[in-house]
Amino acid sequence: MNKTFSENIKPAGIYVHIPFCKIRCTYCDFYTLTNETRIDAFVESLCKEIELRKDEIKEPVKTVYFGGGTPSRLSEHHFNKIFDSLYQNFKIEPTSEITVEANPDDLSDEYVEMLARLPVNRLSIGIQSFDDNELKFLSRRHSAIQAINAVKRCQMNGFSNISIDLMYGLPNQTTKIWEQNLKQATSLGIQHLSAYHLIYEEKTRMYSMLKAGKIEPVVEEVSTAMFSMLIDWMKSHNFIHYEISAFGKEGYFSRHNTSYWKGNKYIGLGPAAHSFDGENRTWNVASLNRYIKGVEEGKPEQNSENLSSDEKYNEFILTGLRTMWGVDLNELKILFGEKIYIYCIENADKYLNRQLLTIEGNNLKLTREGIFISDGIMSDLMRV
Ligand code: SF4
């Protein structure tokens, strides 16, 4: 008999979406507002939502992640209110990983000292580039030197688990500039790097510029060369490539994201935040007004979908293959049955023969060559 996803559930995580940014970056399609006048009202509603949804997570919570938007737009007063509410309503373990995303120009001496007084033990700093021209092009608020100083300030204030985000594949970006970015990143003594190729999301300014012919995307060979450079550079600096976009020093992988990729349960709080209970996906309305109204009325506005067995299998493949642990074929067989297991192996066969996939122990994994065409491999293994 197949186990259900719920029976397979491990410890839970909490995601808190802070939907405010000082300005909008040209490439960003996240739900966020540049009008910050309603931060206080949002925090009030967030604390009420926590109270209303406390019964959704009874398991011990091992990770809390403040994402956005820009969580570093919150004051100490806001954070204290939110933490009080989280600790009162959920079983957050003392050893939990608690991450706050921050923008470099918010990380003044006073702000970092304030963060150090909170239960926060991991920072994820949205640097994106150490090249001032690129930062300007992306409409980031900080300069390269501000980013460097922000990381150093966090380290001086005792933060010893710091991740930074970088972007590559920007129009006009050369492999030389990308190499400089990587060199600067690893010289800072950080523990983790997330590196994302630029994606032209519809409804962004970057997309409009592309459509108007004002910018040209990098050619595929340059993208591939940059990704290859990224993998080699990080490996030579003792970072483990544990997920397609993520590199961590031993013991410093993002526990929160790893938990997502392993299919664990999580609750998403705040507008546009997604939750997963092992069977269903729900997501809060992507509108601050409607979010506040729903919470005030005692019924947060949400949509949900019940995943079909094929959709669960597809997610299992997608999330598993993204990571260095790969897809656990034993678990796949237990969760989805012999027929789906055979479907997976048969579709993997041509990639196994070309050494783009490999089986180590009972795990199906991408090889280094396979990572470069991971999208195609994943879609071939998925059920339509
Ligand atoms: S700071 Fe982050 S969330 Fe805000 S607009 Fe820029 S990329 Fe988007």
What is the per-residue pLDDT across 184-211, written as a single tens digit (0 to 9) for each? 999 999 999 999 999 999 999 999 999 9
Enter the tokens of residue 82: 């939110």
Q: Is the pLDDT score of 1 beyond 70?
A: no
What is the rounded CA–CA span in Å between residue 124 and residue 145? Answer: 17
Enter the tokens of residue 315: 């997610």
Instruction: List the CATH code of the domain at 309-381.
Output: 1.10.10
Select from 17, 26, 27, 28 the residue to mutate for testing ligand 1; criterion: most ligand atoms less than 8 Å from CB: 28
Select from 23, 29, 30, 194 the residue to mutate for testing ligand 1; criterion: most ligand atoms less than 8 Å from CB: 30
pLDDT band at 10 (very low <50, low <70, confident <90, very high): low
Q: Specify the CATH class of 5-261 in words.
A: alpha beta
Query: What pLDDT, in 10s, does the model give residues 92-144?
Result: 999 999 999 999 999 999 999 999 999 999 999 999 999 999 999 999 999 99
Tell me the average pLDDT of the chain: 95
CA of 21 to the centre of ligand 1 (A): 6
CA distances to 18, 153, 324 from 74, in Å: 8, 19, 35
Could you give the 3-state DSSP secondary structure of residue 167?
A: strand
Q: What is the pTM of this model?
A: 0.94
Query: What pLDDT, in 10s, does the model give residues 203-233?
Result: 999 999 999 999 999 999 999 999 999 999 9
Residues within 6 Å of ligand 1 by CB: 21, 24-25, 28, 30, 32, 68-70, 103, 126
Q: How many CA atoms lie within 13 A of 246 on its CB side?
A: 21
Question: Among residues 381, 233, 268, which one has the least CA distance to residue 320?
Answer: 381
Select from 21, 125, 134, 135 the residue to mutate for testing ligand 1; criterion: most ligand atoms less than 8 Å from CB: 21
Pick the atom of ligand 1 nearest to 103's CA: 1
Domain ranges within the chain, ordered by starting residue: 5-261, 309-381
Phi-psi region for residue 323, left (φ > 0), alpha (ψ -120 to 50) or beta?
A: beta
CA of 314 to the centre of ligand 1 (A): 29
In the chain, % helix, strand, coil (3-state, to 5) comes to 45, 20, 35
Helix (H) or strand (E) holding 18: strand 12-18
What is the rounded CA–CA span in Å between residue 314 and residue 325? Answer: 17
The strand pairing partners of 61, in sequence order, are 12, 92
Cβ(205)–Cβ(26) below 8 Å: yes
pLDDT band at 8 (very low <50, low <70, confident <90, very high): very low
What is the rounded CA–CA span in Å between residue 157 and residue 109? Answer: 9
For the chain, counts of helices (H) and of strands (E) = 15, 15
Cβ(268)–Cβ(275) below 8 Å: yes
Burial of 305 (0-12, 13-18, 19+ CB in 10 A): exposed
